[in-house]
Amino acid sequence: MPLDFDTHGFRSGFSQSTAQQIADSAGPSTTYVIEVNGEAVGRLRVVRTQDQIELAGIQLLPGHQSRGIGTEIISDLIREASEAGRTMTLSVEKDNPRAEALYRGLGFVTTDETDKEFVMRGPASPLAP
């Protein structure tokens, strides 16, 4: 993290954008709280349109990462997209190699990129259970 990173500003902005996403009940975006054994351990945002399902954001608390939680959630979304005949998409920041490796391991391929992110498309069919 850069020395001049504004943690308070980032958290404030993130909280505001999350509140807007949750309040926008008419939009195609749904924000979920990820729970494990009744404990809130993360957040998931999914955008569903007629043609695609976009993983718009998934965050897990550090103590709950690398336990298969994200893999299970993303695999469920891949299955949902496949069953609905939709494309599964996401974007991942280039400075997040762990997430990129997770997505590639689940069959996602890069279809485009920006200065900061890879745009990825998921596999045409779900992985075996």
- Give residue 29's pLDDT: 87
pLDDT at 88 (0 to 100): 96
The per-residue pLDDT for 4 is 66
- E strand or H helix at 53: strand 52-60
Name the 3-class secondary structure at 44.
Answer: strand
Strand 52-60 with 117-121, pairing: unpaired
Of 110, 111, 106, whose CA–CA distance to 125 is shortest? 106
Can you give the residue ranges of every domain in the chain? 27-121
- Specify the CATH number of the domain 27-121: 3.40.630.30
pLDDT averaged per 10 residues in sequence order, the chain, 129 residues: 62 55 62 94 95 95 93 95 94 95 95 96 71
Q: pTM of the prediction? A: 0.77
The reported pLDDT for the residue numbered 123 is: 86
